[in-house]
Amino acid sequence: MRTIGLLGGMSWESSAHYYRLLNEGVRDRLGGLHSARVVMHSVDFAELESAMRADDWETVADHMVRAARSVEAGGGECLLIGTNTGHKVADRIADAIAIPVIHLIDVIADEALRLGLDRVGLLGTSYTMEQSFYRDRLATHGLRTVVPDQAGREEVNRIIFEELVRGVFRAESRSRLAEIVDEMQLGGVILGCTELELLLDDDDVACHLLPSTRLHVQAGLEWALH
């Protein structure tokens, strides 16, 4: 088994989900007392979120590059960047380290294509939904991206930052997210923020959900165990 590097802390609720899924995945595949070999660097999310709000992506990139180098130095043999929004600077990180970066958006695109989709919805932070980095990367795979209307985007972003990253999970927010997904009337919608899949699952909606973290973890496990 090779060692998976994880760049986390964005939020720590997200990183806990990554860590749990990685270990459950190894246990399910190898059995017994097996668990995942993981090196994680967890950042202080408040520092990065402040820079994001200021549109200072250079500072975000600097923080994440330093963290990624720490993961590499600690023995990580690949890197999972445990944040959808942070993939805005994924290429900068990949250029700064020698180990491979398993790119979350490419993994999601592979699943969308496997499902026969050519157009997908996207839920995430306002940065993920409104900036071009996510949809541009999906477009390289031949996928078109649809996001909710402005009111929907604001509500999704509010639920993420005011509730989910703080460990608050409300039934009414689950219902509202499900409404937003169903209103898009698409065959598949990306849960483009780890915390969203802590609240919403396939039973809540009428379409395929593409859970970014679960798909990312599966790709990491395939890499580590083969």
Active centre residues (catalytic): 83, 193
Which residue, among 13, 90, 80, 81, has the nearest Cα to 57 in the 3D structure?
90
